[in-house]
A = this chain, B = another copy of it.
Amino acid sequence: MDAKTVCLGLLSFGEASGYDLKKHVESSGDLFFATGFGSIYPALAALSSKGLIERSRTTGGGRRDRKVYRITPTGRSELSRRLAMAEPRHTLRSELFALLYFSHLLSTDRLTQIVDERLAAMIADARTEDLTESSLMHPKPSRAQFVAGLRRALLETTIRYTRDHRKLLEPS
């Protein structure tokens, strides 16, 4: 999903600044997209110029230059339209997948190291989950719970599968 739609979607939960949005995306584990400020600020500017969002407040708690955006009615209906048209594919891609596919070109030591590292990171990740206590979404909507739970289930499956089938990665 492209940056503009994600920003618009997140703003449908409540008002936020570009910084807030970035934090929220990060804290939900880069679930549906990962990005830097270089994507978010231009996206907000574009949405704003189309009238899909607007500035609500500019200073909000002692901090300098804080630009808080709010979705407009036009923005909300445009978002609904886009989502209704979408044909969302569930194609799971991962850099880890890709690397393991070509792991015959890796030394056994390096491969062991990578798998151990990733396994540890995933275990930590699966535990950490649900610290998504962002200011957007006070009571966490049930759909966000659905997605977070699914993400966790997928992580757990990956961990279990990798442990059980690790032998397949050894040189034959």
Q: A residues within 8 Å of B by Cβ? A: 1, 6, 9, 12, 29-34, 76, 79-80, 83-84, 86, 88-107, 110, 114, 118, 121-122, 141-147, 149-151, 153-155, 157-158, 161-162, 165, 168-170, 172
Contact = CB atoms under 8 A, between A and B. Distances in A.
A101 B144 contact: yes
Of listed A89, A90, A93, residue having the most chain B CB within 10 A: A90
B143 A31 contact: no
Given A32-B101, A97-B151, 18 more contacts: A32-B95, A32-B98, A83-B102, A83-B105, A86-B99, A88-B94, A88-B96, A88-B99, A88-B114, A89-B96, A90-B97, A90-B118, A92-B94, A100-B143, A100-B146, A149-B161, A149-B165, A153-B157
